[in-house]
Amino acid sequence: MRPLASLVDSACFPTGTPLAVARCTASGVIEDIVAGSWPDGRAVERSDRFYGASLAKQLTGAAAAMLVRDGRFDPDQPVRRYLGELPEWAATITARQLAHHLAGLPAAGELEAVAPGDWTDDFVLGALAALPGLSAPPGTGYAYSNIGYILLARIVERVSGQPFAAFVDSQLLAPLGVEGMGFASDIAAFPQRAVMGPRLPLTLGDGGLWSCGRSFALWLHLQNEDALGIAGIVETPGRLVDGSEVRYGWGLGLRTHRDHRLLIHGGEWTATVAKAVRCPALGIAVIAMAADCPFQTLDYLVQMALNDAA
């Protein structure tokens, strides 16, 4: 395999771009590099955490799947059974539909456009309390919505009796030995915060995840090995009411790579881009996160790293 540094050079990132890239092989060997510098002039370090944006959804899906695995949570019950404060429309959708983006919820952008400040759980839940109805009948179409994963994280809290971030730390990451990664709403200490603009992403579930590259690569590798015993849940495609398959699992886009299943996701926010891919059959995992660069550049790097390893 070509060294990651060579692949980064080929991707032609803008000079000084803060970047973390990591790749893990089937044997569990992780290669990780960082590049660039933060606005204060400090060089990016391997221990620096980047914002994962929508890569958070795979951990949210995993947290919910663990509760399903343990018989503590029925994803086919109405969402209102777990979140009784929501309006009547929540009695017509299920958590499984939330996970697959089939619940008919509005796109997050519709609410983000009217948010007076930061993107927060309190704002989203307040907006949902006033929502008169769904954008479409549940199960009739795929419509990607961050809102569903904010609700899914709240359901994890209600069922587990723990704050969502604490549940992820204690039940997912700590047992797997994954450090340098987790959900956070207080982001002042992260150097990337300085370039993320005046409106911040502070919700948990759809986003809220911060990680260094090596930690995320280890997470991906352990999911390739099904270390949590949830692959049968999170890697299963969604189904519309007419039986049509939807190529999205629980926080994971479902694709193929050289005739093998490929689990993918990307994420973006102001000055934030992230992309993760993993192939269980080949044992390959790649993660890249950057600040203030085009998503296409990062995506090109991830595809190079994947093809080079396969």
4-309 — its CATH code? 3.40.710.10
3-state helix, strand, coil in the chain (%, to 5): 40, 20, 45
CA distances from 166 to 89, 143, 234 (A): 29, 29, 21
Q: Which residues of 24-46 are buried (b: 16+ CB within 10 A; e: fewer)?
A: bebeeebbbbbbbebeeeeebee
Of the ranges 19-23, 186-190, 234-238, which one carries the lowest mean pLDDT score?
Answer: 186-190
**108 pLDDT higher than 90:** no
Q: Which residues contact 309 (CB under 8 A, 6 or more apart)?
A: 1, 23, 25, 282, 284, 286
Element spanning 79, H or E = helix 79-82
The single residue listed with the structure tokens 């699992």 is 249
Look at residue 13 in the predicted model and tell me its pLDDT.
Answer: 92
Q: What is the DSSP string of 172-238?
A: IIHHHT--SEEE-S--TTSGGGGGS-SS-B--SSSS-EEE-HHHHHHHHHHHHTTTTS-HHHHTSPE
| CA dihedral of residues 79, 149, 227, 244 (deg, nearest 10) | 70
* Total residues belonging to the chain: 310
Instruction: Find the mean pLDDT for residues 224-243.
Output: 98
In this structure, the strands spanning 272-279 and 253-257 are unpaired
Look at residue 204 in the predicted model and tell me its pLDDT.
Answer: 97
**Residue 25, both tokens:** 């092989």
CB 22 within 8 A of CB 30: yes
**Residue 83, both tokens:** 């979140």
Task: Report pLDDT digits (tens) over 238-274.
Answer: 999 999 999 999 999 999 999 999 999 999 999 999 9
Predicted confidence band of residue 103 (pLDDT cuts 50, 70, 90): very high
Look at residue 89 in the predicted model and tell me its pLDDT.
Answer: 96
Name the 3-class secondary structure at 136.
coil
Of the ranges 86-100, 122-136, 242-256, which one carries the lowest mean pLDDT score?
Answer: 122-136
Look at residue 234 in the predicted model and tell me its pLDDT.
Answer: 98
**Residue 223, both tokens:** 């999911």
Instruction: Find the mean pLDDT for residues 26-30.
Output: 94
Mean pLDDT (the chain, rounded): 95
Pairwise CA distance, residues 307 & 310, whole Å: 5
What are the backbone dihedrals phi and psi of residue 33, each rounded to the nearest 5 degrees, phi first?
Answer: -140, 160
Other beta carbons within 10 Å of 307: 13
Pairwise CA distance, residues 187 & 190, whole Å: 6
Please give the DSSP secondary-structure letter assigned to residue 107: P
